[in-house]
């Protein structure tokens, strides 16, 4: 990408516009779309529009500290890269390029079960430990072996995704004819056989169950997994405060307030509307993350004020990967981080601990 084109990429949404021009329609639709009527997809963004920030003036902000320690590791800023599948659709080196982007951005990438490069290869390429997102497999023996493998490779935390027990209606994906291209497989699942590893992505009309995601995962499995692991366990896809509380009671280390970016059950609330309720229930007793619709530094600020310890971005880094590889991710994350620092400075905050809920108000009805 030439320098003048790159210099016109000023905010995260600019990456989507450019990626849309570069990607084939099916790949773009796979990233951009949500489930069914996309009510939840839209709600995630709309929730941020309803929040106003009340800045404190006349605070010395000549030094701003955005760092936070998560599971014993210091993060320069509280933004991680959410797990997403099939990066080879967006860049020829796939997840390896994403690893480089995460490394250059000094942030943590959560590798998806559905990556097109194995976790081991990703971790070997990475200068820092990765996290792994787990879709529990029907074969619990295989699942045990998978978490053992990724832990041995250097993984620092496991995120068990709990919001996609069955397929969701992906009308836009299906209309665009999205499927895993021939020759592209979920490398982490290759030991279950090439056919399984390349099974249909979301099935199609009338396909309720998915071959590569177990539909029978319960709290018993969470306890089982907790006992198998020697590294932190997070549940990804929690929206109910009661479920967050159960996760805490069962010894989970973190919860990711997420609705899968509006790609699972359509009609569930935005993540931002549930975050304060979950923070009130379990905040401070386990690590709390939020994803869904983070596009601006002010969104990061609002999520932290509502009780998140850190946020994750999904679609935006895939667009950046498609546009400019690792450099794209680096620049996109620099934009988001700087916007966040600007939000802190302009709101009179010098450390993450000074960002409080009292600094927000809901937009008055018009």
Ligand X SMILES: Cc1cc2nc3c(=O)[nH]c(=O)nc-3n(C[C@H](O)[C@H](O)[C@H](O)COP(=O)(O)O)c2cc1C
Residue numbers at the binding site for ligand X (CB under 6 A): 30-31, 44, 82-85, 112, 114, 133, 161, 236, 258, 260-261, 263, 291-294, 313-315, 318
Q: Which is nearer to ligand X, 5 or 25 (CB)?
A: 25
Question: Minimal distance in Å, beta carbon 89 to ligand X?
Answer: 9
What letters, b where the CB count within 10 A reaches 16 and e where it falls short, cover 101-124? Answer: bbbbbebbbbbbbbbbbbbbbbbe
Token readout for 283 is 């905040």
- Gap between the Cα atoms of 238 and 162, Å rounded: 7
The answer to whether the CB of 224 falls within 8 A of the CB of 250 is no
Residue 146 per-residue DSSP state: H
Residue 207 C-beta: closest distance to ligand X, Å? 18
Q: Tell me, what DSSP letter sits at residue 263?
A: T
Q: Choosing from 75, 87, 201, 260, which is the catalytic residue?
A: 260
Minimum separation from the CB atom of position 151 to ligand X (A): 18
User: Which whole-number Å values give the CA distances from 326 to 32, 45, 93, 319, in the listed order?
Assistant: 20, 26, 10, 11
The distance of closest approach from Cβ of residue 312 to ligand X in the complex, given in angstroms and rounded to an integer, is 6
Q: How far apart are CA 148 and CA 305, in angstroms?
A: 36
> Which residue shows structure tokens 């990475």?
126
Tokens of 234: 């997070």
Cα angle 117, 123, 125; round to 5 = 80
Contact status, residue 119 vs residue 111, Cβ threshold 8 Å:
yes
Q: Are 69 and 303 in contact (CB under 8 A)?
A: no
Q: How far apart are CA 147 and CA 38, in angstroms?
A: 33
> What are phi and psi for residue 7, nearest 5 degrees?
-70, -15
Determine the Cα–Cα distance for residues 242 and 96; give it in Å rounded to an integer: 38
Minimal distance, residue 185 CB to ligand X, in Å: 14
Q: Which residue is nearest to ligand X (CB)?
A: 314
The least distance separating ligand X from the CB of residue 290, rounded to whole angstroms, comes to 9
Rank residues 217 and 294 by Cβ distance to ligand X and give the closer one. 294
Closer of 15 and 30 to ligand X (Cβ): 30
Nearer to ligand X, 83 or 94 (CB): 83
Structure-block tokens of residue 131: 């996290």
Let me know if 260 is a catalytic residue: yes
Q: Residue 100 or residue 178: which is nearer to ligand X going by CB?
A: 178
- Residue number, 16 or 330, with CB nearest to ligand X: 16
Active site residues: 260
């Amino acid at each position: 990408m030439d320098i003048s084109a790159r210099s016109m990429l000023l905010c995260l949404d600019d990456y989507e516009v450019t990626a849309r021009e570069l990607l084939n329609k099916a790949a773009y639709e796979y990233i951009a779309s949500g489930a069914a009527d996309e009510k939840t997809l839209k709600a995630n963004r709309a929730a941020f529009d309803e929040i106003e920030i009340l800045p404190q003036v006349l605070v010395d902000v000549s030094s701003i500290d955005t760092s936070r320690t998560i599971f014993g590791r210091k993060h320069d800023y509280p933004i991680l890269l959410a797990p997403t599948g099939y990066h080879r659709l967006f860049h020829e080196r796939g997840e390896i390029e994403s690893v480089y982007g995460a490394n250059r951005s000094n942030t943590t990438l959560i590798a998806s079960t559905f990556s097109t490069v194995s976790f081991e290869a990703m971790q070997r390429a990475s200068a820092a430990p990765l996290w792994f997102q787990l879709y529990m497999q029907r074969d619990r023996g295989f699942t045990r072996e998978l978490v053992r493998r990724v832990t041995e490779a250097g993984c620092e935390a496991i995120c068990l995704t709990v919001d996609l027990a069955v397929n969701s209606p992906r009308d836009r994906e299906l209309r665009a004819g999205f499927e895993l291209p021939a020759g592209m497989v979920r490398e982490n699942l290759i030991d279950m056989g090439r056919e399984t590893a390349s099974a249909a992505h979301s099935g199609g009309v009338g396909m309720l169950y998915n071959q590569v995601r177990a539909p029978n995962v319960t709290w018993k499995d969470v306890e089982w997994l907790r006992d198998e692991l020697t590294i932190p366990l997070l549940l990804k896809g929690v929206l109910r405060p009661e479920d967050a509380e159960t996760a805490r009671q069962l010894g989970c280390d973190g919860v990711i307030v997420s609705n899968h970016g509006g790609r699972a059950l359509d009609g569930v609330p935005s993540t931002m509307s549930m975050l304060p309720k979950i923070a009130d229930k379990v905040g401070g007793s386990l690590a709390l993350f939020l994803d869904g619709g983070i596009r601006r530094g002010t969104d990061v600020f609002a999520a932290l004020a509502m009780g998140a310890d850190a946020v994750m971005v999904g679609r935006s880094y895939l667009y950046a990967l498609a546009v400019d590889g690792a450099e794209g991710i680096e620049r996109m994350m620099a934009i988001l981080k700087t916007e966040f620092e600007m939000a802190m400075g302009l709101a009179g905050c010098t450390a993450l601990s000074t960002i409080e809920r009292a600094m927000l108000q809901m937009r008055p009805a018009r």
